[in-house]
Amino acid sequence: MSRARTASLPPASLPGLDPSWSRLVDVPERAIGSAPDAPAAASGTRTNRWHILDNAADLAELGATPVGTILCVHGNPTWSYLWRKTVAAATDAAAAGRPAWRVIAVDQLEMGFSERTGVARPLARRVQDLADLTDALAVDGPVVTFGHDWGGVISLGWAVDHPDQLAGVMLLNTAVHQPDDVPIPAALRLALSVLRTGTVTTTAFLDTTLAIAHPRLSSDVRRAFRSPYLEADRREGIGGFVADIPVDAAHESAAELARISGGVARLTVPALMMWGPRDPVFSDRYLDDLQRRMPHADVHRFENAGHLIAEDVEYAGPALDWLGDRFGSAPESPSTDEPEVPDVSDASDTPPMWHHLETLAHSPEPAVVDMVAGPGGSPRVVSWALLSTRVHQIARGLVAVGVKPGDRVSLLVPPSADLTAVVYACLRIGAIVVVADAGLGLRGLSRAVRGARPDHIIGEMPGLTVARAFGWPGQRISVATLPAVSARALNVTTSLAGVIRAGEAAHDLELPHPPAASAVAAVLFTSGSTGPAKGVVYTHGQLTALRDALSAQYDVGVGTGLVAGFAPFALLGPALGARSVTPDMDVTSPRTLTARAVADAAAEADATVVFLSPAAIANVVATSGELSAEQRAALARVRTFLSAGAPVSEALLTAASELMPNAEPHTPYGMTEGLLMADISLDGIRSSTASLAADTVTDAAAGGVPVGHPTATTRVRIAPLDAAGSVGGDLTDAAGVTGEIVVSAPHLKSHYDRLWITNRLADAHSTPGERWHHTGDVGHLDGEGRLWVEGRLQHIIVTADGVVTPVGIEQAVERVDGVRRAAAVGVGPRGAQQIVVVVELTARQRRSRLAEPALAAAVREAAASGGHEIAAVLVAATLPTDIRHNSKIDRAALARWADGILRGGRMVSP
């Protein structure tokens, strides 16, 4: 046999690869479908030499007995080097006293450093090859398979064929089914069109695969992946893998792929899928298919990862964590029994979200008012009777056009009566509402919608145009009736009017049984201010608990007039029985809201409650001079004023209270994951800050923004920070302890959508009978049980003297004359960071610069009052903010900018 065909050990100097893991194994080749105990000679076959990575010797040296085996199978054109981090993580875990897992990572025949047999190896052959190897290695304990790319299919083939040994399944980007009506991915079509030239004669296929890592692979890692494929003879397997892609039902491997995909649907063992959605080959379509086959699987989508997910992100640690969570000290004996079906019966007697649409179904009183002037120049007023009728018509129409309970419906509709009717129609039939804020921008919105994988999209023209351009999935329904040409161009199947007509025609259609309280009701996306927007999943029971919490906290109910300048509260109005009015504004830009628009909305609804975002308040106050006497009178009838979404200063609330002199200003504390966790009034803020000034609050130096006492059904605890800024230890309600804020309430979200790792971190202190959520906010409780917010966990500054939270410094600096806003950030290595303050001045600045000496001295003096030493003071023309609320300062961006400036970079705006 020529040198190019022999098996060998990899070079000893490959980064991250311990040479002691490498082994060569001689494996008898059996006929496809042979029984495990069939002798090789009976099949008339040969012996093949494999290269594998195996940490068995390391575990033996540690004296660690494996609880099971992780069987790792690479795809094309990689090799076992892909799994080096898994081998290392498992070995390190065993050394640390955690359960020991043996890891076997294979080089498939014709690939990596295994033998080139010169024999075609279609899918069925490769599945048998893997079985031959595990038989030769006498792998007989609990096995968890771990596959990527085409290796995912092969590993699943082994899993399907070994139910008595299988304990679990883990997958990186892969696929087990190609729909007949969907072409194979363009990248694979291209590879097939230039098969031998692109995969064997040249290194084009290999180079392209390595080039799509995010971020770019280092040169030594690229060399490591290339090392088994330096000669064309050693790349035959790459071409063979591509040729083995079943392009149609007549392909040699199509039947085996169908066998495996069918078997996967019958697997009941624990499963984990970690996915890179930027993969040009295995897109989210294939993840969806796998989830339909294994609905019990845990899923985590790494938003910025792609095909080489094992190189793009830290996946090995989470995989070991998942094994620990699912199996504890050892996997149980594999079982082929059907999984228990949880009891999802609805034992709750709480009225559903659409309750008032039934009790007020004959009322002529206004339910929803759109202040955006229509064709006639007047607000659009929708009565309870009409809203109830429309909701039932749309509900029946959606069923008629194919919307089923559990289907996801993405709503690309601005706050309006149309949106309200569609939301409640979806809730009634058990469809899952998906809401992503247009303020995320095109890229963020597309990432959110594609990640949610809706079955249907209901939108206006701009949203449908984006859906077409970005290739979003789902049936498309237009709010407006489009010309036939436009409808075809946008793949629109019907309009909202068409849905209503279908509902009218199907007036005798029986709607699905109302969903259980435990059924998923909505996926609401976060603002994206701290990373890619996350889909937050709520059940029907959690939404009704939120409704009841709001009603109890602010005495909002039937007949209340509510001005909702924040979309979630506009949608909650009908659930509360309130008369909801959306003011005339651009919902994607809260700063467009004017005082006159708020006053007109309050007059139209005879409103007693007004809810605005902090960014909106600033412009409302700034434009208050334009108010007429009648408009001021309408605002004087308001009794409760709410603002949330970001910390609201006492000065801003005071200014707003002057416009609504008879209203009690409140600022609720919450987040998308729990919209109402604590509440404080303006008087409460004044009392809290007075206590702070008098030093009657424990840990007064921490400062922060007081957000009040927990609401009636909410509990708040603190997860203390250690000296390195890490969260650890038991939860506490002791006063003066700074740490991560952790909350529990009936209206807390269920989980994050397809973000298993994020869920695990957020639910770290949850138990089966008690749900807690780690908010990511940092703060403390004072001696009177009030909660103070000091910043975000990722924004804390870890100096040589310990942890510093930013908000207290910022508050002190914002009292300096001429300073409009301030941000305190850390520059330098964690543990030795220096505090830098970036200010935005009240006088408009055209460019960013270093602070003048007098300003810098005043800022340093202000910070010193809290015991903090400032390394530098910078002036920014404007401080960058998040895209939803326009009020949360992007401290991460400022920290990067300040670091660049202090390293001698150009003084450009952050």
Q: Pull the structure tokens for residue 266.
A: 């019958």
What is the predicted pLDDT for the residue at 446? 87
Q: How far is it, in rounded angstroms, from Cα 836 to Cα 860?
A: 10
Is residue 548 pLDDT above 90, yes or no?
A: yes
Contacts 24+ apart (CB under 8 A), 198-203: 199/77, 199/235, 199/238, 199/239, 199/242, 200/232, 200/235, 200/236, 200/238, 200/239, 201/232, 203/229, 203/235
- Give 35's pLDDT tier (boundaries 50, 70, 90): low
Concatenated DSSP letters of 875-900: E-SS--B-TTTS-SB-HHHHHHHHHH
List, for residues 166-220, the tens digit of each pLDDT value.
999 999 999 999 876 677 777 777 777 777 888 999 999 999 999 999 999 999 9
Q: Pull the structure tokens for residue 492.
A: 């629109």
- Give 904's pLDDT tier (boundaries 50, 70, 90): confident
- Give 1's pLDDT tier (boundaries 50, 70, 90): very low
Which of residues 870 and 414 earns the better pLDDT score? 870
Q: Pull the structure tokens for residue 692.
A: 């702070």
* Cβ neighbours around 612 below 10 Å, total: 27
CA 266 centroid distance within chain: 28
Q: How far is it, in rounded angstroms, from Cα 454 to Cα 461?
A: 18
Which of residues 703 and 272 earns the better pLDDT score? 272
What is the predicted pLDDT for the residue at 699? 44
Is residue 41 pLDDT above 60, yes or no?
A: no
Residues pairing with 456 in the sheet: 409, 475
Q: Cis peptide before 215, with omega less than 30 degrees from 0?
A: yes
Q: Return the SS3 of 751.
A: strand
Q: Tell me, yes or no, if the two domains 19-177+258-327 and 355-538 fold the same way.
A: yes
CATH topology of domain 19-177+258-327: Rossmann fold (3.40.50)
List, for residues 760-803, the tens digit of each pLDDT value.
999 999 988 889 999 999 999 999 999 999 999 999 999 999 99
- Give 347's pLDDT tier (boundaries 50, 70, 90): very low
Please report which residue ranges of 754-874 form alpha helices under DSSP H: 756-762, 806-813, 853-864
- Give 3's pLDDT tier (boundaries 50, 70, 90): low
List, for residues 281-314, the tens digit of each pLDDT value.
998 999 999 999 999 999 999 999 999 999 999 9
Taking the chain, what is the end-to-end CA distance rounded to the nearest angstrom?
62
Which of residues 208 and 342 earns the better pLDDT score? 208
Q: Which of 77-81, 241-245, 580-584, 692-696 has the lowest mean pLDDT?
A: 692-696
Side by side, the strands of the sheet bearing 739-744 are 669-671, 674-679, 705-710, 787-792, 773-781, 739-744, 715-720
What is the predicted pLDDT for the residue at 472? 87
What is the predicted pLDDT for the residue at 36? 60
Is residue 256 pLDDT above 90, yes or no?
A: yes
Q: How far is it, in rounded angstroms, from Cα 53 to Cα 107?
A: 8
Contacts (Cβ under 8 Å, ≥6 apart) of 181: none
Q: Which of 211-220, 560-569, 659-668 has the lowest mean pLDDT?
A: 560-569
User: CA torsion angle for 856, 860, 861, 866 (degrees, to 10)?
Assistant: 160
What is the predicted pLDDT for the residue at 701? 47
List, for residues 524-535, the tens digit of each pLDDT value.
998 776 678 899
**Which run of H or E residues covers position 236?**
helix 236-243
Residues pairing with 674 in the sheet: 671
- Give 18's pLDDT tier (boundaries 50, 70, 90): very high
> Which among 365, 421, 374 is positioned nearest to 396, based on CA atoms?
421
Say which amino acid occupies 230.
Answer: L
> Which among 317, 512, 498 is positioned nearest to 403, based on CA atoms?
512
Q: Are residues 310 and 85 in contact, defined by beta-carbon separation less than 8 angstroms? A: yes
Output Rg (C-alpha) for the chain, integer angstroms. 30
What is the predicted pLDDT for the residue at 305? 96
What is the predicted pLDDT for the residue at 34? 76
- Give 735's pLDDT tier (boundaries 50, 70, 90): very high
**Which run of H or E residues covers position 143?**
strand 143-147
Is 250 exposed, middle or buried, given 0-12, 13-18 or 19+ CB atoms closer than 10 A? exposed
Indicate the domain borders of the chain: 19-177+258-327, 355-538, 682-793, 796-902
Is 3.90.1150.10 the CATH classification of the domain at 355-538? Answer: no
Q: How far is it, in rounded angstroms, from Cα 561 to Cα 675?
A: 20
Report the pLDDT averaged over residues 330-354: 58
Strands 751-752 and 664-666: unpaired
Q: Are residues 522 and 432 in contact, defined by beta-carbon separation less than 8 angstroms? A: yes
What is the predicted pLDDT for the residue at 866? 84
CA 423 centroid distance within chain: 22
* Residue 900 C-beta-side C-alpha neighbours within 13 Å: 13
Superfamily the domain 796-902 falls into: ANL, C-terminal domain (3.30.300.30)
What is the predicted pLDDT for the residue at 885? 46
Q: How far is it, in rounded angstroms, from Cα 620 to Cα 648?
A: 14
**Which run of H or E residues covers position 870?**
strand 870-875
Is residue 346 pLDDT above 70, yes or no?
A: no
**Which run of H or E residues covers position 89?**
helix 84-95
pTM, entire model: 0.90
Q: How far is it, in rounded angstroms, from Cα 907 to Cα 272?
A: 46
Q: Pull the structure tokens for residue 898.
A: 């300040």
Concatenated DSSP letters of 451-507: HH--SEEEE-HHHHHHHHHHT--SEEEESSPPPHHHHHHTTEEEEHHHHHHHHHHTT
Q: What are phi and psi of 430, to 5 degrees?
A: 85, 10
Taken in order 450, 454, 455, 457, the sign of the CA dihedral is negative
- Give 440's pLDDT tier (boundaries 50, 70, 90): confident
Is residue 587 pLDDT above 90, yes or no?
A: no
- Please identify which residue in the block is written with the tokens 């004044």: 686
Q: What is the mean pLDDT of the chain?
A: 90
Q: Are residues 319 and 146 in contact, defined by beta-carbon separation less than 8 angstroms? A: yes
**Which run of H or E residues covers position 871?**
strand 870-875
Is 664 exposed, middle or buried, given 0-12, 13-18 or 19+ CB atoms closer than 10 A? middle
682-793 CATH choice from 3.30.10.20, 2.40.50.140, 3.90.1820.10, 2.30.38.10? 2.30.38.10
List, for residues 332-341, the tens digit of each pLDDT value.
655 444 333 3
What is the predicted pLDDT for the residue at 696? 44
Q: Are residues 225 and 81 in contact, defined by beta-carbon separation less than 8 angstroms? A: yes
- Give 700's pLDDT tier (boundaries 50, 70, 90): very low
Report the pLDDT averaged over residues 728-735: 91
Report the pLDDT averaged over residues 10-36: 92
Is 96 exposed, middle or buried, given 0-12, 13-18 or 19+ CB atoms closer than 10 A? exposed
What is the predicted pLDDT for the residue at 339? 38
Q: Percent of the chain beyond pLDDT 90?
A: 71
